[in-house]
Structures are given as structure tokens and as C-alpha cells.
Amino acid sequence: MITAEIALDSINTKGDRITTLILNYPRFIHSEVMTHRVFSRNAASSRAVPTEIMIERIYLDPARPIQWGENQKGMSAENQLSSEISHELNLIWDDTMNYVIENVRRMLAFNPHKQTVNRLLEPWMHIQTLVTSTEWDNFFEQRCDSNAQPEIQVLAWKIRDAMMLSKPKKLSVGEWHIPFIKPEEIALPLETKLKVSTARCARTSYYFHDGKESSLEKDLELHDRLVGSFPIHASPAEHQARAISQSQFCKNLRGWEQYRLMVEENCKKQKQLEFF
């Protein structure tokens, strides 16, 4: 199922709005989402989830084309195939899925790592992606257009609708936009909240892939593994951002300064200490 859910929505004193969304969409359009470089994003990795769990998820909610267009020149289909033909194509799509799953399970008998065999399942996967951005106009202009692939059109309209219905929280200069912090965690020290949020953004969820809820201890451990050792994996630290006084770009965010800047600065200091 294609969904778009607001995780956190904030606006600074200059009117720069920063929105973090949890998106769910077919894995086969993920590359199109990735072309928008103003987005900070983290996606659930097909390398991390056990294969049988991945197969179970596919059976519960297989990714399928929304519509079947008639073949023609160019990237878009102007004419749609009949409902009878579309039904037949959906059956073939599902038959192919079942055939691949059967062969993936044959492979599991040889104990290959999931990072390899799971790749065969990707055409039928949905992927959960966390996206944070201050810039959406170009995305909506391109992806809400009728020439865009139907699946990403649906995603774009759902993002747009979610943002239109959301009322961003006003934050003053120096205040932080920190996704995935529970109400009972608001009183935690800022440093702890930044670390916990980074870990949850890396997983795109409060939960592990098996559905169990994470703990503060596990979140802090994951943060330190991501950004406390070399090489650092700092992309999950791009979703936490501090409001600044000027409506100007700081990396890919307008009017907001990423936690990643602090992480990278700390990394530089550690390297300098090691060198001396």
C-alpha cells in the first residue's frame, strides 16, 4: 500500500517549514524518489530483514503496478489496456512473484546471506522511507504531473495531502525539530533526544524489523555504532535540525541546521586527536 504519514512538522520564525514523513511505496519506484537531492532520507534496507520475514511481508502486501498502460514510444503510456488484459497481466505478475519466491526458498537451503537473495524479491516489496525536507515544490511539480509513473503520482499526491492537512509547530531560533521522540521523552536531555532520534531514523521506526519496540539503551548503542566510530554513517543525523535566524540553505535544508553538522565536526576533532 502507498502511504504518507507526517512524523513531525515544524516551521521557524522566518516561515521555513521542515517536514519529516514516513513513506511506504513499491520498491520499484525507489530510484525515482532518490533523484530528489534536496531530500534527507533513510530507507529500510532489504539487506537487513531476514528473508522469510520479507517473504511474509510480500504475501501480506505485494507491490503491484497501479495500472497497465499500452506500450508506445516515450516514458509514459497515454492509453490504458482493457480491464480484462490488465487482470491477465496481474495474474502473470503474481505468478512470476510466486516463482521467484519458490526459488529464493530453494536457495535458503544453502544458507546464503539475506543481503544477496533478498535482492531477487525487490520487485514485489514495499519499502519504508523516512524523508525530511524544506523544499517540496519541484517534487510536486514533477511527480504530481500526469506524465509521471502512476505509482509515484499516487505517492506525491498523498504527501501533498498530508502536508496540507498538517499544521506545523512553530519553533524559535535555536529550538530543535527532532522526529520520533515520544511525549514521555520530551524531558530527556537534548543530547539524548538527538541520539535516540538518530537511531530511530536509521530504522525509520520506533521498532526493530521483528516488530519489537526499541529501548533507549538500544537506541543509544545504535547511535554510537552509526556516528561514534569510523567510517561514520551520518545520514540518519540529517532529520534532526535546529532553527536558525536566516532563511538560507545549510546543506540541503533552508532555515535549519542539521544535527549531522555537529556529528561531522565531532568526527573531525576525534581524527585530529588520533593524528596527534
Question: Tens-digit pLDDT profile for the chain (276 aa)?
Answer: 999 999 999 999 999 999 999 999 999 999 999 999 999 999 998 888 999 999 999 999 999 999 999 999 998 898 999 999 999 999 999 999 999 999 999 999 999 999 999 999 999 999 999 999 999 999 999 999 999 999 999 999 999 999 999 999 999 999 999 999 999 999 999 999 999 999 999 999 988 777 788 899 999 999 999 987 778 889 999 999 999 999 999 999 999 999 999 999 887 766 554 433
Cell (9 digits) for 230: 569510523
- What's the rounded Cα separation, in Å, for the pair 236 and 42? 6
Q: Are 262 and 256 in contact (CB under 8 A)?
A: no
Cell (9 digits) for 182: 515520544
pTM for this structure? 0.94
